Amino acid sequence: MDFSNQNTALWSFILQMGMLAAILIFANILRRRVPFIKKALMPTAVLAGFIALFLRMLNIVKLDLRLMEMVTYHTIAIGFIALSLIIPKRETNYSRTFTGSKTGALIVSTYLFQGVIGLLISIGLAYTICPDLFKAAGILLPMGYGQGPGQANNVGSTYETLGFKGGQSFGLSIAAMGFVVACTFGVIYMNILKRKNLLTRIGCAAVYETSSIDDFENKNEIPVSESVDRFSIQVALVLIVYFTTWGVSSGITKLLRSAGSNFTESLIPIIWGFNFIIGSMLAVILRGIMKLFRNSGIITRQYQNNYLLARISGYAFDLMIITGICTINFEKLAGLWLPFALMCILGAVGTFYYLKWMCKILYPEYYYEGFLSMFGMMTGVISSGILLLRETDPKFESPAANNLVLGSSFAICLGIPMLLLIGMAPKSDLMVLITLGCCVVYFFILLGYIFLVKPKKM
C-alpha cells in the first residue's frame, strides 16, 4: 500500500479534520482576545464554522463538502448517545421531573410554533408571489432554529431529494442565522435588562453542583491501572449503541418497505434523518441494563465515566456545528431569499415573544434566567442557552441550567409526533395543509398540559 501523499484516499480525511482543528483553535483565540467577539458571546464552534465558510467561499481552504455532510450527520447521533449514557448524579425528585416535563412540552411547543410560522410563510408565498416555492419549506424553520445545523442538514437534504431545490443550504442557512439571533438579540436584551437592574439574583435554592473528584472518577469505576484505557471504554460504549442504532433503523426500514404504501415509504428518510432519537433511546436502555447488572452483582464496576462521556458529546456537537455551517452554499439560495428573510425575522420575533410569555408562567422565580437560557437554545443550540445563562447566572444558582438538560430529555419523547408531520408535509399540497393543522392541534395540546396539569401534592 502507498502511504505517501500520492494516496489521497488515505490522507484526505486527516487533512480535512486537521484544517477544521486549526480553524477551531484560531476561532478560540479570536474569541478570547478580540473584545467585540468576546462580548458577542458567540460560541467558538459557531465562529469557527463561519470562518471555515468564509475561507471556503474565497477558495483559500478547500473542504470536501460531502465529507462535511457525513460528519454533520454522524456527530449529532454520537453526541446524543454519549449524553444519554451519562449516569445521573442523584435520583430526580418529583418536583424537578414535573418541571422538566413541562420544560420539554415548552421546547416542543416552540418547535410547533416556529413550524406554524414557517409553514404559513411558505404556503402563503407559494400561493401568491412565489408559485415555484416548495410548500413544505416552512418545516425547516424549527429544524434550523430549534434543532440546529444537524437536523437542518438532515431534513433539508431529505426535502431536496423530494423536489426542494436548495433545501439543504436553506435549512443550514436558517440554522446559521439562528446562532446570529441568539448571540445578538439575546445579548442586546440581556444588556437592556442589566441597565434596568433587573438581573439581580432572587432567592432560589442552588441546584447546580460544582465540580468534584466524582466528576472525573467515581469510586466504583474501572481503575486507571486497568489494561484498557477508560476513554476507550467510553468510545466503545458509544459506538456499540450507534452500531445497534443502525441495526434497529435497518429493521424498521425493512418493516416499512414491506408495508408497501407510499406513506410508509415516505417515513424511511425521516427514520434515518432522526436516527439520534433511536440512538438516545437505546443508550438509555443500555444504561438501565448496566445498572440492573450492577445491582444484581453480575458486574461489579461502573463502566461509564460521566466526565469523559460529556467530553465526547461536547466534541461531537462542536464538530457538528462547524461542519454544518461551513457547508452552506449561498448560490443555492437563489430565488429563496424572500422566504429565507421572512422566516428568519418573523421566526426570531415570534420565538422571542412566545418564550417571554411562557417563561413568566413556568419560571416565575427565575424568569429572566429561564427566558434567556431558553431563547438561546431555541434559536441556537443548548450551548448558546448556557452561554447566555452564564452571563446572568454565573454560578448557576437558578434551576435554569438543569431545566435545559432535563427538558431536552422529555422533548425527545414529546417530539416524536413531529417525525410523522415532517414525513407527511412534502407528499402533496393537501398534506402540507394537514400538517399545518396538525401542528396547530398538537401545539394547543401541549399548552393544555402546561397550563392545566398541576403537580401532585407530595
pLDDT over 60 at 212, yes or no: no
Share of the chain above pLDDT 70, in %: 89
Instruction: Give the pLDDT confidence score for residue 388 in this predicted structure.
Output: 80
Instruction: Give the pLDDT confidence score for residue 396 in this predicted structure.
Output: 64
Q: How far apart are CA 263 and CA 261, in angstroms?
A: 5
Q: What is the pLDDT of residues 96-119, one digit of tens each?
A: 556 778 999 999 999 999 999 999
pLDDT over 50 at 331, yes or no: yes
Rounded-to-10 torsion of CA 371, 372, 375, 379: 180
pLDDT band at residue 353, thresholds of 50, 70 and 90?
very high
Instruction: Give the pLDDT confidence score for residue 224 in this predicted structure.
Output: 63
Q: What is the pLDDT of residues 69-82, one digit of tens each?
A: 899 889 888 988 99
Q: What is the pLDDT of residues 357-382, one digit of tens each?
A: 999 999 888 888 899 989 988 998 77
Q: What is the pLDDT of residues 296-310, one digit of tens each?
A: 888 888 888 888 998
Judging by beta carbons within 10 Å of its beta carbon (0-12, 13-18, 19+), is residue 265 exposed, middle or buried?
middle
Instruction: Give the pLDDT confidence score for residue 3 in this predicted structure.
Output: 77
Q: Which cell is 128 given?
A: 401568491
Q: List the one residue out of 164, 155, 69 whose CA is nearest residue 111.
A: 155
pLDDT over 80 at 324, yes or no: yes
pLDDT over 70 at 208, yes or no: no
Q: What is the pLDDT of residues 31-40, one digit of tens each?
A: 889 988 887 7
Q: Which cell is 450 given?
A: 402546561
pLDDT over 70 at 87, yes or no: yes
Instruction: Give the pLDDT confidence score for residue 393 in this predicted structure.
Output: 74
Highest mean pLDDT among 71-80, 210-219, 230-239: 230-239
Please tell me whether residue 221 adopts helix, strand or coil conformation. strand
Please tell me whether residue 302 adopts helix, strand or coil conformation. strand
pLDDT band at residue 205, thresholds of 50, 70 and 90?
very low
Q: How far apart are CA 302 and CA 103, in angstroms?
A: 30
Neighbours of 177 (CB within 10 A): 20
pLDDT over 90 at 442, yes or no: yes
pLDDT band at residue 89, thresholds of 50, 70 and 90?
low
Q: Which residues contact 168 (CB under 8 A, 6 or more apart)?
A: 69, 153, 156, 157, 160, 327, 329, 332
Spatial contact of 371 and 205, defined as CB atoms under 8 Å apart: no
Q: What is the pLDDT of residues 377-399, one digit of tens each?
A: 899 877 778 778 877 777 667 78
Looking at every residue in the chain, the average pLDDT score rounds to 84
Q: How far apart are CA 222 and CA 301, in angstroms?
A: 6
pLDDT band at residue 95, thresholds of 50, 70 and 90?
low
